[in-house]
Structure 1
Amino acid sequence: MTSTQSPLRAFSFGGGWQSMAALVLAAQGRIDFDTFLFANVGDDSENPDTITYVRDYAQPFAAAHNLKLIELERHLRGGQTETIRQRIINSNGSRQTIPVFLSNGKPGGRACTYDFKILVTGKWLKANGATPQNPATVAMGISLDEIGRANAGKAMPYERLTYPLLDLKIRRADCPRIIRTAGLPVPPKSSCDFCPMRKIPEWQAMREKNPARFERACQVEETINHHLAAKGKRPVYLTRTGRPLRHLFKGGDQLPLFDTDNEGCDNGWCTT
């Protein structure tokens, strides 16, 4: 029997400027998506300001406009929730999770985006009917100024990627205005709270404005290096400086600024 099921349509919601602008555009009928999927990598791992914004502003706004903003989590086979921070703390260094930097400043491998964003979203899509024969249309929040990040060829077999902000020629700088037209505050930049793609000034601002968050990030870096040292391996870092995060702003040294052009995740699943 031939399936007559309509192809599933969903927007990958990252919690940042582009995703929130897309939610407003959907409410205005300018983009044709009514389902938004927020893959939460963990309340102990996401920027806490992003979590607060999604739950206090984005989800109520979506509900008020008959849109679905669904929060997803990664679950292990036994049903337990796994977060990125939990994996780092509990894995004994056996798996590379986040894109830490090696001593020479080069980035290492990572599994965070694939395991905690792509697979989590994919599990929901497949549970709701997406197949290679009937792929879901998944929209990514890449704006015109980031067009180089758009790559439909990276789609999983059960999905087809699309970029509605590109079609509307919307740039990242346009997003705050779009969000404010809906009477909403502009969300903070979304990312893991200890993401190595964060720029040096952002780390400094975190240390000054929220020392508890900065301390947790230092603990992540130190945990990884504790396990590496036990294996006789060289340390890695959350910045390209080759220096521990905890000591980065001590001693009055001039801060290296060569990582200020970091673009972060290049495929649209993060920082949007």
Structure 2
Amino acid sequence: MRVFSYGGGVQSTAALVLAATGRIDFPVFLFANVGNDSEDPATLVYLEQYAKPYAALHGIQLDELDRVRRDGTTETLYGRLTREGSRSLPIPVRMSNGAPGTRSCTADFKIKVIGRWLKAHGASADKPATVGVGISLDEIERVNNRRSEPYERTVYPLLDHAPPLRRHDCARIITAAGLPVPPKSACWFCPFRRPATWAETRRDRPELFRRACDLENLLNARRTALGKDPVWLTRFNRPLALAVTAAQDMLPGFDPADDALCDNGACFT
């Protein structure tokens, strides 16, 4: 079994083009949707308008997977965060000291969801599936933190390509296939979003930015009630609405390289 973990972004879509044109061997692509209320709306639009039709046209199976509870209902990441009485903080919020908090969002809503599909289709420790991950050369440090599960063998087709592909190479591959380049995929409230991305969201999608501010306020209202320190969606130790201005000239000394990314390749690809 050979499947590709499709993140909905530039690298994964380039891999889809490579698979469709016979340059890599992955007949199945799996998109773990953390929730229609959680994924960036632009990613979901791209998935429906471009990725799925392109995959179908070229005989690639692109399955969209949800996190399903034991009672058969679908759980979303935003739903878990906002559920009444919830104390869960599964996203990597910034703590008051500036450090990122622990997270379970990637494991619960990406890795386990795809793992459940793999095991349901025959993957096991004795017969592991080959799972492609869309990490490009300019993000090679993310490979070191990717932990494979017993039922999978992780490979990196963009790095194995001759020559290895960078993000801008992936964009060219997508454009050459006649597709628009997708936006970077991530939850619209992800604390790993770069400050420049938050600034663009405030400028171009003010309603979505307001929803992120509301979510941050909700999380902190609960923490105040519990006598806990506040948490933030950016590293600037203050509310999102104050930390980000609606422009790309963000803050003095801002360096994009300082920002973290999800370290196992399940998001932002």
What TM-score range do you get, normalising by the shorter chain?
over 0.9
- Could you tell me the TM-score, scaled by structure 1's length? 0.92
Query: Residue 248 of structure 1: CA displacement?
Result: 2.4
The aligned residue for residue 89 of structure 2 is: 96
The aligned residue for residue 110 of structure 2 is: 117
Amino acid at match of 2:82: I
Aligned residue among 251, 257, 260 for 1:255? 251
Aligned residue for 1:71, secondary structure, equals strand
Instruction: Go from structure 1 to structure 2 and tell me whether the alpha carbon gap of 1:257 and 1:93 turns closer, same or farther (over 3 Å shift).
Output: farther
Instruction: Go from structure 1 to structure 2 and tell me whether the alpha carbon gap of 1:91 and 1:129 turns closer, same or farther (over 3 Å shift).
Output: farther
Q: State whether residues 136 and 158 of structure 1, in contact with CA within 8 Å, keep that contact through their aligned partners in structure 2.
A: yes
Query: Residue 234 of structure 1: CA displacement?
Result: 0.4
Q: State whether residues 10 and 33 of structure 1, in contact with CA within 8 Å, keep that contact through their aligned partners in structure 2.
A: yes
The 2-side partners of 1:89 and 1:63 are apart by: 35
CA deviation digits over 1:106-159, x for unaligned, max 9?
110001100000000001001000011111110000111211111486101111
Point out the more displaced range, 143-152 or 212-221.
143-152
Q: State whether residues 152 and 160 of structure 1, in contact with CA within 8 Å, keep that contact through their aligned partners in structure 2.
A: no
Query: Residue 94 of structure 1: CA displacement?
Result: 2.1
Point out the more displaced range, 86-95 or 211-220.
86-95
The runs of 5 or more residues in structure 2 that have no matched partner are: none
Q: Kindly indicate whether residue 29 of structure 2 is the aligned counterpart of residue 36 of structure 1.
A: yes
- Could you tell me the TM-score, scaled by structure 2's length? 0.93
Report how many residues are paired.
262
Amino acid at match of 2:206: P
Aligned residue for 1:150, secondary structure, equals helix
The aligned residue for residue 267 of structure 2 is: 270
Instruction: Go from structure 1 to structure 2 and tell me whether the alpha carbon gap of 1:63 and 1:225 turns closer, same or farther (over 3 Å shift).
Output: same
Instruction: Go from structure 1 to structure 2 and tell me whether the alpha carbon gap of 1:151 and 1:255 turns closer, same or farther (over 3 Å shift).
Output: closer
Q: State whether residues 199 and 259 of structure 1, in contact with CA within 8 Å, keep that contact through their aligned partners in structure 2.
A: no
The aligned residue for residue 226 of structure 2 is: 231
Q: State whether residues 96 and 229 of structure 2, in contact with CA within 8 Å, keep that contact through their aligned partners in structure 1.
A: yes
Q: Kindly indicate whether residue 211 of structure 2 is the aligned counterpart of residue 216 of structure 1.
A: yes
Instruction: Go from structure 1 to structure 2 and tell me whether the alpha carbon gap of 1:36 and 1:91 turns closer, same or farther (over 3 Å shift).
Output: farther
Q: Kindly indicate whether residue 192 of structure 2 is the aligned counterpart of residue 185 of structure 1.
A: no
Q: State whether residues 136 and 160 of structure 1, in contact with CA within 8 Å, keep that contact through their aligned partners in structure 2.
A: yes
The runs of 5 or more residues in structure 1 that have no matched partner are: 1-7
Q: Kindly indicate whether residue 195 of structure 2 is the aligned counterpart of residue 200 of structure 1.
A: yes
CA deviation digits over 1:14-45, x for unaligned, max 9?
00000000000001111010100000111111
The 2-side partners of 1:257 and 1:188 are apart by: 25
Instruction: Go from structure 1 to structure 2 and tell me whether the alpha carbon gap of 1:83 and 1:259 turns closer, same or farther (over 3 Å shift).
Output: farther
Aligned residue among 49, 58, 61 for 2:51? 58
The 2-side partners of 1:265 and 1:145 are apart by: 14
Q: State whether residues 21 and 175 of structure 1, in contact with CA within 8 Å, keep that contact through their aligned partners in structure 2.
A: yes
